[in-house]
Amino acid sequence: MVYLTRRYRFSASHRLHNDLLTAEENGRVYGKCNNPYGHGHNYALEVTLAGPINAQTGMVYDLAALDHTVEQEVLERFDHTHLNLDVDNFRTRVPTTENLCIEIFNLLRDTLNGAGPDGAHLKRVRLEETSSNSFEYEGG
């Protein structure tokens, strides 16, 4: 089994806010991230596939095909958006980076699993929000 990890970048803004909490509770839980106008991040996304090396190509997965899938499913959907306002799944769900990481994994899973010639599959998504915070999701 060989792991292939490819890195992508996108920018998006969000506001961490839960309508079920009071203004004081939101302020305590989310701090400055509860700013009513939102705030932005330059995210670094790592997509990891796992699979055997194809004997004919010498690769786990076609990088151009992976780039196309990530562009279509993730970057076009999230880059330069306000997650709370522009992404349906985050209109009622708090767009934490944890939730965004899971959302990206789920968007990629069906397209990437078993799509390679030798059955490579999506292993993990890692999303870096800042130089201090990153989150990983392997499905569940």
Q: How is residue 98 written in tokens?
A: 């944890």
| Residue 129 annotated as catalytic | yes
Q: How is residue 125 written in tokens?
A: 């998504």
**Active-site residue identified among 25, 39, 71, 80:** 80
* Cα diameter, the chain: 60
**Active-site residue identified among 46, 98, 129, 136:** 129
**Active-site residue identified among 33, 82, 121, 136:** 33
| Residue 33 annotated as catalytic | yes
Identity at 75, one-letter amino acid code: L
| Residue 71 annotated as catalytic | no
Residues 6+ apart with CB under 8 A from 2: 50, 51, 52, 53, 60
Active-site residue set: 33, 80, 129
